[in-house]
Amino acid sequence: MNEIAIKQCSIIDPGNTYEGINDIYIEDGLIKLIEPSIGLAADKVIDAEGLFLLPGFIDMHAHLREPGFEYKETVYSGTRAAARGGYTSICCMPNTRPVIDDEASLSMLQKIIKKDAAVKVYPIAAISKGQKSTELVEMNKLSEMGAVAFSDDGRPVATAAFMMKALLSAKEKGFMIIDHCEELSLAEGGAINKGRKSEQMGIRGIHPLSEELNIMRDIMIAGNTDSHIHIAHVSTAGSAETIREAKKRGVKVTCEVTPHHIGLTEDIITPGFTDCKVNPPLRTAGDVEALKEALKDGTIDVIATDHAPHHKDEKSEDFYSSAFGISGLETAFSVCYTELVEPGILTLKELSERMSKNPAELLKLDTGIIRTGIAADLVLVDTAREITVNRNDFLSKGKNTPIHGKTYKGDIVYTIVDGNVAYENKNRL
């Protein structure tokens, strides 16, 4: 029996069941009691006075790199980084080697997860065999084995015809299709956002239309087929407006944004600073403001990290040869709290909705809120504490972050997964 008592925490519950200062009693992995004061003995007692208790964060979009790219990240290292970031559940993308596109590859991944994961890991399988947009995977079989959604991830679904086929196939059983929206003819060869900064630096840019056109395509197909499409890592004002208008028309479209796309702009890019190279690229200040507004009005449903760890040698000083991607699991909450809650764009409860409740609902997980009888997947945060990002302290193998040395408000104190402490902040005074 494993019992944890959390004393005098301030509960933030996006499910609207519990609020205010309470004690929480956890037994055998479940939340057993939530009351103003609980006097029961426990194996571990956490003094949470001055701390906020939230449902554990759920990341719909992360790269664990295993199998095949263990030099970048592993399930072991990536899930411990996730726990440090307050995540109790993460979804891993299928662009591994082999691609997660059949029963054998998914079974291999599931064995690794069972052996090494520090948090719950839900695989996302590919939409097409080899991510080639020519042959659909066996969605029924892969779903039965634990795949929670389907995405070709960094490779956009190549044609409208194949996207229609995928959406219709997914619709039959209620599967979710996630698309990386990119019109490659407007993006290939680009390294940063096409605009003032790319012209100034003489670097080929990725046009905002490369994202926006594919989003329009997907929305039109989803509307025509009455299917659900989820758009990954929205980055432009135009994308946000297109999704907003589609939702008003009743199209079944949802979407996500990353912490780096709401916390950074192309203005930070300097020669050789390739840790800020990411796809989609960092955009303009106007885009960032539009994305924040879209989070505020509910156009953007979810905050997901797109955690993309790389070996240091893959982040060369040359923008063209350097890999796309930012390592973001361990800093996501601090960035989001500072950029969204501190200035009053979102409340802490609304942030919890975007990071826990909404992804749980989309993934059909019985979590993302706080109530008795469900798994104790929880995070305790100190919103008064400042942190200074230090890549060298990351638990992730990926040290590729553009915010090294920057200071943010909000820190993770405890992460609890199934009633077990997955992370405890030993540095907190």
Opening angle at CA 333, ends 254 and 76, nearest 5? 90
Burial class of residue 67, CB neighbours in 10 A (0-12, 13-18, 19+): middle
Residues assigned a catalytic role: 306
Cα(279)–Cα(250) distance, integer angstroms: 29
3-class SS of residue 220: helix
Helix (H) or strand (E) holding 112: helix 103-116
Q: Which amino acid is at 298?
A: G
Helix (H) or strand (E) holding 386: strand 378-388
The torsion region of residue 371 among left (phi > 0), alpha (psi -120 to 50) and beta comes to beta
Q: Are 180 and 232 in contact (CB under 8 A)?
A: yes
Question: Strands 20-27 and 30-35, how do they pair?
Answer: antiparallel
Give the Cβ contact number of residue 286 at 10 Å.
11
Provide the H-helix boundaries in 180-301: 196-201, 208-225, 237-248, 259-263, 285-296
3-class SS of residue 398: coil
Cα distances from 93 to residues 96, 253, 278, 350, in angstroms, run 8, 20, 16, 26
